Amino acid sequence: MDDQESFRLQLPVMQFYEYKADMMGRDPVKIIKEGVAKTLVFYYPFAGRVREGFGRKLFVECTGEGILFIEANADVSLHQFHDYCSLQPPFPCMDQLLYDVPNSDGILDSPLLLIQVTRLKCGGFIFAISFNHTMCDGYGIVQFMRAIAEMAHGAHAPSVLPVWQRTVLNARDPPIVTYPHHEYDQVEDTNTTKIALNDMVHRSFFFGPTEISTIRKTLPIHLRHCSTFELLSAYIWRLRTISLQLRPKEEVRFLCLVNLRFKFNSLPSGYYGNAFAFPAAVTTADKLCQNPLGYAIELVKKAKAEMTEEYIKSVADLMVIKGRPHCTAIGSFLVSDLKKVGFGEVDFGWGKPIYGGLTMGGVGRIPGFISYFIPFNNRVGEKGIVMPICLPTPVMQRFVIELDALLKVKQPIGIENHKRITNIKSAL
């Protein structure tokens, strides 16, 4: 499961921590660095390097070469980030808050973790980490970060000991594909599905109880009990497709990411490898855009229901038979629900972060067809979900117009608002 092409990238995480009077005089860089060193004794594969063997099979050589750790200072206060972007992606100065060390961002033969701790002049700090996705998923990296926090608090061992055991998700012998895995279809690119990577805009959108209720009321009675994940995923998928203005008969896919840790309880506690699959809902652009929202929700629900233990085994077998392919990115949209992963619970001694989670841009830029549900409190303390979206500039403009027209609300952050914060960059 881990060494498929889809996971061969670096993912960035940002955690913002406020000043805490109880920690006055204590250096977050020193405390976290010591915690990392102690944690790597237990997570020693992270100190090694990924190699590639026969059939593109990945393995970790436990060389003990270590990880990269950067100590940084910024003449900036946390409120300067908070006031302008409400601490939601995209963050300004990503290339300085998580420095892209030259020749270090490869998947093979490169450090598996890059950690940067940046002290702020207000006494707060930013913890940033970039990790090799073939080593772990969101739950896995949070498990590692929590272990660092425990060691920083003086623990002698993590409360949850790490478990490697990647063989539990190995292919069968002989491998046999038992499902039609449309998430790995090889699709020919077209003029309308090609995305101008040099003209991409990153923006976040907040969905609180009011927005979610407004969308839910548009559904027929029999669908109003659908989950928030199903509702918002279908809504954004449909709206995104409308904005892309694809040809009517072009195939579009929604990749429904489902984590098997909790669905089947079949993995050992402490397992930190990738443990998810993303069954695909497939339709055409005209059917998705012209039908009501309920059509998209039914497709999402169907894809979600396909996730079984046999489905996971079939994916592992397909990796061997088809040479570990990349998932279908052309015409696809994938959503990962991070609400319960636990980024916002990691406490190094300064309390919980005021923002914690995956971000976009900088080291290991997340592909534009992927988005996340991130738990978030807006400026007035309202709890909801933030979704980072990445689209070409003209597509984003159409997306925002459609969204505002449907919800009749003003989003908390706009493209122009984000540009105003660039003057901070010179101070970092």
CB 3 within 8 A of CB 320: no
Q: What is the pLDDT of residue 412?
A: 42
Between 23 and 364, residue with greater pLDDT: 23
Q: What is the pLDDT of residue 195?
A: 58
CA distance 158 to 55: 35
Longest dimension (CA), the chain: 63
Q: What is the pLDDT of residue 428?
A: 34
CA distance 257 to 27: 39
CB 384 within 8 A of CB 207: yes
Cis peptide before 92 (omega within 30 of 0): no
Region 76-98 average pLDDT: 80
Report residue 49's pLDDT band, with 50, 70 and 90 as the boundaries.
very high
Provide the annotated active-site residues: 133, 347
Whole-Å CA distances, 154 to 31, 38, 147, 148, 308? 10, 10, 11, 10, 41
Q: Which amino acid is at 79?
A: H
Whole-Å CA distances, 283 to 178, 303, 392? 21, 12, 23
Region 72-101 average pLDDT: 83
DSSP bridge pairs for 384: 376
Out of 27-31, 78-82, 255-259, 309-313, least confident range: 78-82
Q: Under DSSP, is residue 329 helix (H, G, I), strand (E, B) or coil?
A: coil
Predicted TM-score (pTM) of the model is: 0.91
Q: For 370, phi and psi rounded to 5 degrees?
A: -110, 140
User: pLDDT at residue 364 above 60?
Assistant: no
User: pLDDT at residue 58 above 90?
Assistant: yes
Report residue 202's pLDDT band, with 50, 70 and 90 as the boundaries.
confident
User: pLDDT at residue 414 above 70?
Assistant: no
Q: Beta strand pairing status for 276-277 and 355-358?
A: unpaired
Report residue 292's pLDDT band, with 50, 70 and 90 as the boundaries.
very high
Q: What is the pLDDT of residue 196?
A: 60
Between 259 and 226, residue with greater pLDDT: 226
